[in-house]
Chains A and B, each alone.
Chain A
Amino acid sequence: QQQVKQSPQSLIVQKGGISIINCAYENTAFDYFPWYQQFPGKGPALLIAIRPDVSEKKEGRFTISFNKSAKQFSLHIMDSQPGDSATYFCAASMRTNFGNEKLTFGTGTRLTIIP
């Protein structure tokens, strides 16, 4: 079963607009919530991440909003630009007994910014 549910599957936003991608999770053991950005032909790259002790994190035009009680988190891209066109994955992480991070990914959102 999909432990991290991501929506929408695809999104088209006008240049300058706000792009919003949503994710929901079930397992309360998750303790780290990163977002990855993937361009065609490339591997995913960390974009921004949040821990559940804060409700919002902002880095430039990218903001994560986190609602612990609802077990939901979302990525907001302000002033969206054509260069933001990519596939975005949310993920949730829990620490294993070995101390490393085990990531569970959402299904991805293909974002297209049109002029």
Chain B
Amino acid sequence: EAQVTQNPRYLITVTGKKLTVTCSQNMNHEYMSWYRQDPGLGLRQIYYSMNVEVTDKGDVPEGYKVSRKEKRNFPLILESPSPNQTSLYFCASSPRPVGGIADTQYFGPGTRLTVL
């Protein structure tokens, strides 16, 4: 089954304790993104990756890091989490555009993070 998986689905942590949220896709997609979803703000892009070892900042990258060492995996790293990073996080992937037409993004199930 084609899917984007995230782990963990729920996480409660304390300020300053480094954490990693994993994301994996089995569709051989080149593009992957991380979003955070907050009430009243919709989804905002944190980072995205165009391919292995190629990443760039989205709209709200402060406090986050990413890496893309393998095509299927795109982990989100919070080196020193703070309470304002309490949010619902989504990973997404999409294939290389065909015929110049970009395809849609496929989202994972989400990770609910609480930073105390």
* Cross-chain contact B109 with A103 (CB below 8 angstroms): no
Give the contact stretch, choosing among B62-70, B71-79, B97-105: B97-105
B42 and A100 contacting across the interface, CB-CB below 8 Å: no
The count of residues in chain A whose C-beta lies closer than 8 Å to any C-beta of chain B is: 25
Does the CB pair B43–A105 fall under 8 Å? yes
Q: How far is the CA of A43 from the CA of B107 in the complex (A)?
A: 5
SS class, residues of chain A in contact with chain B: strand
B interface size (C-beta, 8 A): 26
* B50-94 interface (Cβ within 8 A of A): 50, 54, 90, 92, 94
Could you list 19 further interchain pairs (A-B, Cβ under 8 angstroms) beyond the known A4-B42, A101-B94? A6-B42, A9-B40, A34-B104, A41-B109, A43-B107, A44-B43, A98-B54, A99-B96, A99-B102, A100-B48, A100-B50, A100-B102, A101-B31, A101-B102, A103-B43, A103-B105, A105-B42, A106-B42, A107-B40
